[in-house]
Structures are given as structure tokens and as C-alpha cells.
């Protein structure tokens, strides 16, 4: 199985998300049973998007991009894993934008991953050099079953820059992640993936898919990525 995961970040309101879905539907990308397409949305879009997805009968699975590290309770404004359990199957945690901009530590990311798993949501854990060891060790410290997670190698220099790293280099790091997680979980690459370069990453023997930011926002480009792999 290969995985194509979109990450809209803080883009698209509800109306725009439904227009995107109509756009993808009209383009009829070649969805294949060997490719799982997952789209990680802003919290505010998820319910309406899921409803429209069901109406259109498209094989896209939804995810979120963050979750609280806290259990339900008196935490004004927090969105808990329990709330998300009714809405999504996946959730990104530890994206470098959150580690950097919101000072999220590896321990905090691990707490989020644990709560997600307790609510049957697959954590998509983003990792980067030179912190792989520490980032993965934090998961083991909380007894997290890493075989139930996805991992994404996201080199900071490649995120949103239009400058992906060399696929062979990405494969090498994916191999390191596979080793550190006992070869049990899907390993993806993220950073300036486009319809033109996606195949060069996914054909690597240690890379099971891609995480796409910028080019997931435009239906034509996202459909192009799906078609490039079909």
C-alpha cells in the first residue's frame, strides 16, 4: 500500500473545502486500491467535508493536523482526541511548524500520539534530523505501539520551499526511521512533493508514501499527484 497525505495547514474555510472537493470530484483522478489518499484538514472543515465526501462517494479518508495533549475537562479551547474520534481516522502530530512555532517538545508529541491511539486515531508523526533518536525514544518512553503509527521524514529545508531533497537521501533517512521503529510502520517523505517528483520518492524501497502541503491545496495539482502514482 502507498499513501498520499495532504496537509492543508491553516488554509481553506468550510466553503472553500467543499469547492475543493467538487473540484477533485470533477477531475476524476485515478483512485486505485493500492493508494490510500488521506487529507488532513483544519478542525473547522472536518464535519462538513466528511458529509460532502459521503455524498460524492470519493475514497478519501480524513485526518486532522493537531490534537490536545490533555484529556477532556476544563481546558478552554482545546480539541481532544475523544472529540476527534468521531470525525477522523488520522492526525498529524509533531509537524516542525508546531515544534518550532508552538515549542512542542518530543514528550508532548508523544502524549498526543498516545491519546490518539487510545481513541483509535492513527498518529502521523513528523520527524526530522538530527532529532530522530530523541523524537522516537519519547514514543517508546510512553509505551506507544509504534506499529500503529505512521512516520514522516520532513527535512525543514524542503518544507514549502519548492526544493525537495534527493529521493535517495530521503530513502536513507527513511531506512534509519524504519530501523528505529523496528520496521513495523509506514514511513513517508514530506517536503516540496509535486506531481513531477512524487514517483521518484515513492519508488524508493523504504518510502511508503508522501505528505504534501502546498500542492494539496489546488485540486488539479493534488489530482495530478494521485494520477502520477496510479
Contact footprint for ligand PGA (CB under 6 A)? 7, 154, 159-160, 190-193, 211-214
Q: Which is nearer to ligand PGA, 11 or 82 (CB)?
A: 11
Cβ–Cβ under 8 Å, residues 118 and 152: no
d(Cα 164, Cα 154) in Å, to the nearest integer? 10
Q: Which is nearer to ligand PGA, 43 or 140 (CB)?
A: 43
Residue 57 CB, shortest distance to ligand PGA, in Å, is 27
Please identify which of the residues 16, 69, 95, 118 carries the catalytic annotation.
95
Q: Which is nearer to ligand PGA, 87 or 211 (CB)?
A: 211
For residue 7, the 8-state DSSP code is E
Cβ–Cβ under 8 Å, residues 106 and 135: yes
Q: Say whether 69 is catalytic.
A: no
Please identify which of the residues 69, 97, 104, 154 carries the catalytic annotation.
154
Closest residue to ligand PGA: CB criterion = 213
Tell me whether residue 184 is exposed, middle or buried, using C-beta atoms within 10 angstroms of its C-beta: 0 to 12, 13 to 18, 19 or more: exposed
Residue 141 CB, shortest distance to ligand PGA, in Å, is 25
Q: Which is nearer to ligand PGA, 16 or 218 (CB)?
A: 218
Residue 76 CB, shortest distance to ligand PGA, in Å, is 28
Cell numbers given for 133: 533518536
Q: Name residues whose C-beta falls within 8 Å of residue 73's C-beta, 6 or more positions apart in sequence.
A: none
Residue 103 CB, shortest distance to ligand PGA, in Å, is 18
What stretches of 45-170 adopt beta strand conformation (E)?
60-64, 90-93, 122-127, 150-153
Residue 46 CB, shortest distance to ligand PGA, in Å, is 18
Q: Which is nearer to ligand PGA, 59 or 160 (CB)?
A: 160
Q: Say whether 154 is catalytic.
A: yes
**Beta bridge partners of residue 3, listed in sequence order:** 36, 209
- Give the 3-state secondary structure percentages of the chain, helix then strand then coil, rounded to 5: 45, 15, 40
- Enzyme catalytic residues: 95, 154
Amino acid at each position: 500500500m502507498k499513501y498520499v497525505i495532504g496537509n492543508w495547514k491553516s488554509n481553506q474555510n468550510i466553503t472553500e473545502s467543499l469547492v475543493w472537493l467538487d473540484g477533485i470530484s470533477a477531475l476524476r483522478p485515478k483512485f486505485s486500491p493500492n493508494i490510500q489518499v488521506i487529507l488532513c484538514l483544519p478542525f473547522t472543515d472536518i464535519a462538513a467535508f466528511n458529509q460532502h465526501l459521503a455524498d460524492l462517494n470519493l475514497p478519501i479518508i480524513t485526518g486532522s493536523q493537531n490534537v490536545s495533549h490533555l484529556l477532556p475537562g476544563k481546558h478552554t479551547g482545546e480539541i481532544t482526541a475523544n472529540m476527534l474520534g468521531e470525525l477522523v481516522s488520522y492526525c498529524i502530530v509533531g509537524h516542525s511548524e508546531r515544534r518550532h512555532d508552538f515549542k512542542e517538545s518530543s514528550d508532548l508529541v508523544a502524549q498526543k500520539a498516545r491519546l490518539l491511539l487510545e481513541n483509535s486515531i492513527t498518529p502521523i508523526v513528523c520527524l526530522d534530523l538530527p532529532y530522530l533518536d530523541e523524537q522516537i525514544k519519547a514514543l517508546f518512553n510512553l509505551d506507544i505501539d509504534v506499529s500503529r503509527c505512521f512516520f514522516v521524514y520532513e527535512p525543514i529545508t524542503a518544507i514549502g520551499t519548492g526544493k525537495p531533497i534527493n529521493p535517495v537521501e530521503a530513502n536513507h533517512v527513511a531506512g534509519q526511521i524504519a530501523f528505529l521503529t523496528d520496521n513495523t510502520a509506514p514511513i513517508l517523505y514530506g517536503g516540496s512533493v509535486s506531481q513531477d517528483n512524487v514517483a521518484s520518492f515513492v519508488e524508493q524501497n523504504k518510502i511508503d508514501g508522501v505528505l504534501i502541503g502546498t500542492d494539496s491545496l489546488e485540486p488539479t495539482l493534488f489530482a495530478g499527484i494521485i494520477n502520477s502514482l496510479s
